[in-house]
Amino acid sequence: MSITTARLQELLQQFQRQRIAVVGDLMLDRYLYGAVSRISPEAPVPVIHVQHEKAMPGGASNVAVNIRALGGQVAICGLLGRDSAGRELREILIKHGVSTEGILDLAEVRTTVKTRIIAERQQVCRVDWEEKLRLDEPALDGFCKRIAVELKKATGAILEDYGKGVLQQRVVDAALGATLASAIPVGLDPKDYSLHLAGLTLATPNRKEAFAAAGLAETPAAPDPLHDRALLEAGEALLKKWLPKMLLITLGAQGMILFTAEAPPHHVPTRAREVFDVSGAGDTVIATCILALAAGATPVEAAEVANFAAGVVVGKLGTATCSPAELLDAVAGHA
């Protein structure tokens, strides 16, 4: 481990001076929590007695609140419907201190809502309301203009693709062109593997996504990622395909592996103490990594800090965030 608590404290001070623009699919995550005491007489399913519920930012919105939780400033660019869910999500983002001027509200769009039903700390099912976006030219023009405005004020950017239609090639081109002009780091959490990504600083696919994007059949994970020939082949293929300065493949219980053109692959083992829910862990990784790079961290430092932050959030139930104090405690615990 190369990151120290002293170095982390330096980076955390710099986090407060960063403004990250997040572009991508916005979602509202709704959670219903309850208890089970009987089986339904109508079907062999549990009856959930709901005790409380909460709504949280999901998708690219969760990336934004992760940045705010770590002390960074953030503006979000995305599309919302002119519906109750869209209004609720915007209000939640504002309460978190996220700038929402880059959000475009459209009458023809339905805000994506994912409702998770939790019983006895276990997710029973998830119900999704969503539609694939189809934007006309005026809407696309207006959205790209908002992205350009926000990126001019940013010190870093994140493209968060959940496959809902926001990150089409024209939007990606507008964002990457603006980040290249400003010479700021830009990261991508990919879902569409056909996108052209010239100018990318960081890509953060998980293992399954990495194999799919590389056009390779996924194989069972080897005990040591640095001796996992198929994984190493996928990483090298993506370095050539996307040309990012950093490729960070997340590996679940095995942590993550960092690829760069300048150095051999670097394995960062997991730092999770206890795993309750992996929802949103990938959001935490890219949010922390880009924030750290914007603050002056090296690729290895950024990967290690992101790994510690992800270890904190998987110990919480639901999409969650990591605070500077929690991050410092996590690093100190492994010093």
Map out the domains of the chain as residue ranges.
Answer: 5-28+58-113+131-332
pLDDT tens for 36-57 read: 989 999 999 989 999 999 999 9
Judge whether 102 and 147 are in contact, CB under 8 Å: yes
pLDDT at 281 over 90: no
Instruction: State mean pLDDT over 186-201.
Output: 88
Radius of gyration of the chain (CA): 20
| CA–CA separation, 327 and 296 (whole Å) | 17
pLDDT tens for 69-110 read: 999 999 999 999 999 999 999 999 999 999 999 999 999 899
pLDDT level of residue 275 (50, 70, 90 thresholds): low
- Name beta bridge partners: 47: 38
The helix (H) or strand (E) run that includes residue 115 is strand 112-119
pLDDT at 333 over 90: no
The pLDDT score that the predictor gives to residue 318 is 61
The pLDDT score that the predictor gives to residue 278 is 54
pTM for this entry: 0.92
Please state the CATH superfamily assignment of the domain spanning residues 5-28+58-113+131-332 in this structure: Ribokinase (3.40.1190.20)
| CA–CA separation, 22 and 45 (whole Å) | 40
pLDDT tens for 139-163 read: 899 999 999 999 999 999 999 998 8
The pLDDT score that the predictor gives to residue 277 is 47
The pLDDT score that the predictor gives to residue 122 is 85
* DSSP code of residue 244: -
Mean pLDDT of all residues belonging to the chain = 92
Which of helix, strand or coil describes residue 48?
strand
CA nearest to 309, candidates 328, 295, 294: 328
Q: What percent of the chain has pLDDT over 90?
A: 77
User: What string of DSSP letters covers 183-242?
Assistant: T--EEEE-S-TT---TT-SEE--BHHHHHHHHT----PPPSSGGG-HHHHHHHHHHHHHH
The pLDDT score that the predictor gives to residue 173 is 93
The catalytic position among 25, 29, 277, 283 is: 283
Whether 105 is catalytic: no
The pLDDT score that the predictor gives to residue 141 is 92
pLDDT level of residue 274 (50, 70, 90 thresholds): low
Least confident interval from 58-62, 66-70, 120-124, 222-226: 120-124
